[in-house]
Amino acid sequence: MPAPQRVTTASLAATARAIAERDGIDAVTISAVAAAAGVRAPSLYKHVGHRHDLLRLIADDAARELGDDVTALVGSSADPAVVLPGIARAVRAFSARSPRAAGLLFSAPSPEAGPTPEGMAPLIASLLEAVGRATPGDPLPAARTMTAWVYGFCTMEQAGAFQLGGDVDEAFEFGLTTLVDALTGSGGARR
């Protein structure tokens, strides 16, 4: 009589992500996830090929969650001056509530630990859609500029790289206004 399955890939993702957020990426070990799932370490190799696959499960879970947020925003308004800031703030909010998963999303410690292209596709599609509405020309360089800034800002903020004091919220809004004004060509007066 076959043994009943005690763990699913989806439950593994949730378990691994919880450990990552509580104790850090380094704590996402085969042993720790197995123990949290109520199973012995070797059993995990029925679901993942190696430890970095656990991180990839977390990354893809994060990509799906953030992709849902962004897609909803893009569907909620047609005005780029509303949608672009909304997306940037959604990314930052996600990064604040799931910093470890967000880190894996954009800068995984290895290619195998990063999200799959399929997992990222909905997020990227919504992003390009939003930027395409804002700029008349090729949306790709504009989207890359926006993405690089948001990603860089959130990563540095979570890594504690902003150590010179000052108001980090203000710096975020300043950068956001600067970029959105420039990309939409609104030339709105700098506050």
Partner DNA sequence: ACCTGAACACCGTTCAAGT
CA–CA dist 116, 111 (Å, integer): 9
Does the footprint of DNA cover residue 14 (CB under 7 A)? no
| CB of residue 102 to DNA, shortest distance in Å | 21
Does the footprint of a second copy cover residue 151 (CB under 8 A)? yes
The count of chain residues that interact with DNA, using the rule CB under 7 A, is: 20
| Residue window 118-147: x/- pattern of binding to a second copy, with contact defined by CB under 8 A | ------x-------------x-xxx-xx-x
Buried b (16+ CB within 10 A) or exposed e, 15-27: bbbebbbeeebee
Q: Within the chain, what is the greatest distance between any pair of CA atoms?
A: 73
Residues 6+ apart with CB under 8 A from 17: 57, 58, 61, 62, 98, 100, 101
Does the footprint of DNA cover residue 111 (CB under 7 A)? no
Task: Show contacts with DNA in window 30-49 (CB under 7 A).
Answer: 30-32, 39-43, 45-46
- Chain contacts with DNA (rule: CB under 7 A): 1-7, 29-32, 39-43, 45-46, 50-51
